[in-house]
Chains A and B, each alone.
Chain A
Amino acid sequence: MASLRDIRKRIKSVKSTQQITKAMKMVAAAKLRKAQEAIIAARPYAGMLDQMISDLAARSESVGHPLLQTRPAKACELVVLTSDRGLAGGFNSNVIRRASRFLFENAKTYEHITVSTIGRKGHDFFRKNLAEGGAGKNGAHAQFRKDFAGLYTRVSFQTAQDIATELTTLFLTGKVDAVYLVYNEFLSAISQRVSLVPLLPLSGPPAAEGADAKAKASARSLVDFKYEPAREDVLAKLVPQALAIKVYRALLESVAAEHGARMSAMENATNNASDMIGKLTLFYNRTRQAVITKELMEIVSGAEALK
Chain B
Amino acid sequence: MTKLNVEVVTPEKRLLSVQADDVVVPGHPGLFGVRPGHTPVLSIMDDGPLTLRDGTSTQVFHVEGGFVEVGPDLVRVLANAAYPVATIDVAAAQKRLDEATARLKGLAADDARFLVEAAVVRKEAARIASATRK
Residues of A that sit less than 8 Å from B by CB: 38, 41-42, 44-46, 48-49, 52, 55-56, 156-158, 160-161, 223-229, 233-234, 237-238, 241, 244-245, 248
A241 to B81, CA, bound (A): 13
Tell me which of A44, A49, A157, A241 has the highest count of chain B C-beta atoms within 10 A of its own C-beta. A44
Q: Which residue of chain B has the shortest Cβ distance to A238 in the bound complex? A: B67
> Given A156, A223, A237, which contacts B40 in the complex, CB threshold below 8 Å?
A223
Asked if B94 is an interface residue, CB under 8 A from chain A, the answer is: no
Least CB distance from B37 to A in Å reads: 13
| Segment 38-97 of B: residues with Cβ below 8 Å from A | 39-44, 67, 69, 71, 76, 78, 80-81
- Write out the residue numbers on chain A whose beta carbons fall within 8 Å of the beta carbon of B76: 48
Q: Is B27 an interface residue (CB 8 A)?
A: yes
User: In whole angstroms, how far apart are the Cα atoms of A237 and B9 in the complex?
Assistant: 17
Which residues of chain A are within 8 angstroms of B13 by Cβ–Cβ distance?
41-42
- B43–A228 contact, CB under 8 A? yes
Q: Chain B: residues with CB nearer than 8 A to chain A?
A: 7, 9-14, 27-29, 32, 39-44, 67, 69, 71, 76, 78, 80-81
**A42 proximity list for chain B (CB < 8 A):** 11-13
A44 with B14: in contact, given A52-B67, A223-B71, A238-B67 (CB under 8 Å)?
yes
CB < 8 Å: which of A44, A56, A161 contacts B42? A56
Task: Report yes or no: A156 in contact with B41, Cβ–Cβ below 8 A.
Answer: no
Q: How far is the CB of B86 from chain A (nearest CB, A)?
A: 22
CA gap between A237 and B40 in the complex, in Å: 19
- Pick the contact of B41: A45, A55, A56, A225 (CB < 8 A): A225
Nearest chain A CB to B50 CB, angstrom units: 15
Q: B131 to chain A: closest CB distance in Å?
A: 20
A42-B11, A44-B9 given; name 7 further pairs at CB < 8 Å.
A38-B12, A42-B12, A158-B81, A161-B80, A226-B42, A228-B44, A244-B11
